[in-house]
């Protein structure tokens, strides 16, 4: 792996584990076993590392958004896409745990975060609109933006909420519980043709509440 890619990978691990405020470029360089000068050759500082990681996430979301219309033909196809989105959120969880602080950190990061949130908002809306087009969702034009926004609000805050309740969850458990929470919000709007072989309403309740 190239040094630049290693810096991003190690930084992401440290940001996720210890938080942004507790992770300096000196700590990143020390963790990698390189000199601070070597790190600064690739990145001018921690802020540039953060903006690069945000760009990585945006690029992944663009790929998901482009693939979604061709790969989702039924409601059961919606599950893996929700899983992919929540897995991305979990992979870059330092961002979603620090949105407020990062938003006021510097103008470039603030613009990056705003662009990210707007992209996520559009993706949430487009995913639901596709289900309506397929006849799997009953939702009028007035309710659709609100449902999309509510799904995004839960997505952005789910990790913080769940880890505050119990910080022993594995990454896979966090992803699954987040997806189930989102599915439970969409489920009341489903048409009869969207009934799934993988769950019932009671299955969702049992897993989410217990």
Tens of pLDDT, residue by residue over 4-63, are 999 999 999 999 999 998 999 999 999 999 999 999 999 999 999 999 999 999 999 999
Confidence at residue 181, expressed as pLDDT on a 0 to 100 scale: 87
What is the reported pTM? 0.86
Using a 10 angstrom Cβ sphere, with 0-12 exposed, 13-18 middle and 19 or more buried, the burial of residue 48 is middle
Count of C-beta atoms within a 10 Å radius of residue 175: 23
Quick: pLDDT tens for 81-99. 888 888 999 999 999 888 8
Per the CB < 8 A criterion, the answer to whether 36 and 7 are in contact is no
What are the distances in angstroms from CA 129 to CA 78, 93, 115, 134, 208?
Answer: 12, 27, 21, 9, 26
Quick: pLDDT tens for 136-160. 999 888 899 999 999 999 998 888 8
List the domains of the chain with CATH numbers: 1-44 (1.10.10.60), 45-208 (1.10.357.10)
Quick: pLDDT tens for 176-187. 888 888 888 998
Residues 52-68, buried b or exposed e (16+ Cβ, 10 A)? Answer: bbbeebeebbeebbeeb
Assess whether pLDDT exceeds 80 at residue 194: no
Q: How far apart are CA 140 and CA 149, in angstroms?
A: 15
Confidence at residue 210, expressed as pLDDT on a 0 to 100 scale: 55
Per the CB < 8 A criterion, the answer to whether 26 and 36 are in contact is yes
Quick: pLDDT tens for 101-130. 787 778 888 898 999 999 999 999 998 999
């Amino acid at each position: 792996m190239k040094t630049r890619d290693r810096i991003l990978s190690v930084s992401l691990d440290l940001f996720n584990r210890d938080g942004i405020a507790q992770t300096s470029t000196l700590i990143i360089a020390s963790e990698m076993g390189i000199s601070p000068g070597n790190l600064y050759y690739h990145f001018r500082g921690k802020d540039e590392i953060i903006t690069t990681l945000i760009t990585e996430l945006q690029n992944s979301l663009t790929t998901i958004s482009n693939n979604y219309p061709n790969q989702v033909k039924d409601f059961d196809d919606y599950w893996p896409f929700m899983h992919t989105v929540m897995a991305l959120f979990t992979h870059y969880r330092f961002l979603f745990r620090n949105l407020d602080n990062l938003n006021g950190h510097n103008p470039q990061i603030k613009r990056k975060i705003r662009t990210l949130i707007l992209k996520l908002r559009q993706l949430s809306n487009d995913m639901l609109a596709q289900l309506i087009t397929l006849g799997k969702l009953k939702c009028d034009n007035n309710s659709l933006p609100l449902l999309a926004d509510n799904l995004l609000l839960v997505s952005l805050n789910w990790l913080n909420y769940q880890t505050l309740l119990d910080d022993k969850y594995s990454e896979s458990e966090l992803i699954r519980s987040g997806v189930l929470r989102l599915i439970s919000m969409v489920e009341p709007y489903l048409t009869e043709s969207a009934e799934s072989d993988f769950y019932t309403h009671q299955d969702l309740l049992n897993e989410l509440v217990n």
